[in-house]
Amino acid sequence: MSRVRIVTDSTIRFSNHKFLDRYPVTLAPITVHCGTAVVEDGPFIDLSDVHRLLENSQELPTAKAPSPEHMIRIYTQLQSETDQILSIHTSSGLNNIVANAHIARQQFLGRINIQVIDSQTASIGLGLIVQAASEAAARGEDLDALVRIVRGMIPRLYMIFFLDDLFYIVHNDLISRSQAILGNMLGIIPFLTMENGRMIPMEKVRSRSRAIEKLIEFVFEFSAVEHLAILQSSMLPTQESSSIMDRLRSFHPSTPITITSYGPALSTFIGLNSLGVAVLEAENNSL
């Protein structure tokens, strides 16, 4: 057996909605817990469909990764198909699936070559990495080559969001509750970025129109881009996201641009009405 099998987690978003029809990727389930309600994230879950459930809860939602035992079951099921597994997951700064995958991996030492990689990103960022790895596997590349491809992409992925509710930053211990109350009263819109796999506060603005301009300015800093994505709280493009896409396309006319919904798990960090962009910088431009 030599063909590599790829495992990732259900928070992933793909630029091609038919991707899973063509490539055998296994999804480890990540669930979102909000009071007594439990929602399983998935690549085609539209956040707007569960918006009311999450919004009406008296508790802020939390995401839960599959246990090491669950990851062992996944790897065991794949053992009949392959002896090489590439397990690529949402950033360890957002949940503990990477740690649990490493624990599970120990049970297969000497039987299966399992490489666990922390993507240091999430959602569509994770999707772009998994898509590249899956396409390389389909071409017959071996596990070592896939690992090199993935590790080469991670430093080229950038992601920023702006939030409409500061309490999600409190929930993740980035600011105090009193700061959030005051900020919400003043209409402050904070930005978060993924840095070394963690959500880091950036600057703040005072209007949504200015926040959109900051997103566009962020993208315009890149001279060569392999892929762009706009992440919003609904799957279908809105007038706002379509307008942003048109402006981005004017600067990067040949770059693929995806508009997609981020999922319930990522919403536990950025809220239910955020807007963001992900940038995959062109490989030669990052050298």
Q: What is the pLDDT of residue 251?
A: 93
Instruction: Judge whether residue 245 has pLDDT over 90.
Output: yes
Instruction: Find the range with the poorest average confidence among 39-43, 73-77, 201-205.
Output: 201-205
CA within 13 Å, CB half, 67: 3
Strands of 257-261's sheet, edge to edge?
198-205, 189-195, 157-162, 275-281, 225-232, 257-261
In this structure, the number of other CB atoms found within 10 A of the CB of residue 223 comes to 10
Residue 2: pLDDT band (50, 70, 90) is: very low
Measure the CA–CA gap between 81 and 2, rounded to whole angstroms.
9
Let me know: does 255 contact 228? Beta carbons within 8 Å: yes
Percent of the chain residues past pLDDT 90, beyond the cut: 66
Domains in the chain: ranges and CATH: 5-155 (3.40.50.10170), 156-286 (3.30.1180.10)
